[in-house]
Amino acid sequence: MDAIIVDRLVKRYARTLAVDDISFTLPRGGILGLLGGNGAGKTTTISMLLGLLVPTSGTITVLGHDMARDRFAALERMNFSSPYIALPGRLTVAENLRVYGHLYNVPKLEARIGELVDKFNLAKFLHRPAGELSAGQKTRVALAKSLMNKPELLLLDEPTASLDPDTGDYVRTVLEDYRHETKAAILLASHNMGEVERLCDTVLMMKAGRIVDRGRPEELIARYGREDLEQVFLDIARNREIAA
């Protein structure tokens, strides 16, 4: 069974068509990249997948649950991380992880926090307020929070933004290992094309709310006659024709 099934999804605001009739699936154990420029509809799509936003029409099925009727059953088995949504800055890192451990009903919580502290190297600032951390440290804490409940589906918005290349590479390795160990599905929105090429099995290219192309990264690169995904991204963003 697929982790995500999106069928003819539309989100219309008063004067704006933010997402325009998109359909896609993400198989269990797969990593899907959601690419597109600003305003392409990525965040709107992710928000609907998370149940934060109600679609105008279309259906979303996550881990077998219809998000319109049964979203909490899906939310218990998935998680999300974005550097653009903060964790409470006055709480220490340990307190933050404890709060989300309770919200996700994580068994043996302190042991799980210990595992995540080791995995993301959080020990040095575990008892510091989250608001006092550097951007990179906050991103690592947010990723630790996102793995708290061992999700079967992980939605990541720019997971390595603000991280130095070494830490970014480490995080990508953690995500690869996590997928390998748990067969979790991952949906990744990123502007780091190298990251997408490395991690994603399939890529959806979005523009103006529509999926304008899709395929494996190497397929897209070959189809556009380019050397890497960044050039493909620019071709699509600038309306260049596919190479003959």
Partner 1 sequence: MKAPLRRIWGMIYRHLAIYRGSWPRTLEVAYWPTLNMLIWGFTARYFMHVQPGAGAAAGALLAGVLLWEITLRGQLGVTFTFLEEIWSRNLGHIFVSPLRPREMVASLLIVSLIRTLIGLLPATIIAYLLYRYNILLLGPVLFLFFVNLMLMGWWIALAIVALLFRYGAGAEALAWTIAFGITPLACVFYPVTALPVWLQPVALALPSAHIFAGMRTALFQHGVDWQDLAWAVALNIGWMVAAILVFRGEFRRARIRGALISIGE
The residues binding partner 1 (CB under 8 A) are 13, 43-44, 47, 50-54, 72, 75-76, 79-80, 82, 85-92, 95, 98-105, 129, 145
Q: For residue 235, what are the contacts with CB-CB under 8 A and spacing of at least 6? A: 224, 226, 242
Give the shortest CB-82-to-partner 1 separation in angstroms: 7
Task: State which residue, 19 or 206, has the beta carbon closest to partner 1.
Answer: 19
Q: Could you give the CA distance from residue 18 to residue 15 in angstroms, rounded to a whole number?
A: 9
Q: Alpha-carbon distance 6 to 59, whole Å?
A: 6
By beta-carbon proximity to partner 1, the closer residue of 98 and 223 is 98
CB of 229 to partner 1, least distance (A): 28
The distance of closest approach from Cβ of residue 213 to partner 1 in the complex, given in angstroms and rounded to an integer, is 26
- Give the nearer residue to partner 1 in terms of CB position, either 208 or 237: 208
Residue closer to partner 1, measured from CB, 146 or 190: 146
The minimum distance between CB 194 and partner 1, in angstroms, equals 27
Residue with smaller CB distance to partner 1, 30 or 55 = 55
- The sign of the CA dihedral 110, 112, 115, 120 is negative
Please, what is the minimum distance in Å from the beta carbon of residue 158 to partner 1?
A: 14
CB closer to partner 1, 82 vs 202: 82
Least separation in angstroms between CB 36 and partner 1: 18
CA distance 45 to 159: 17
156: enclosing H helix or E strand: strand 153-157
| Contact yes or no for 33/195 (Cβ under 8 A) | no
29 near 184, Cβ under 8 Å?
Answer: yes
Report the alpha-carbon angle 225-185-21, nearest 5: 65
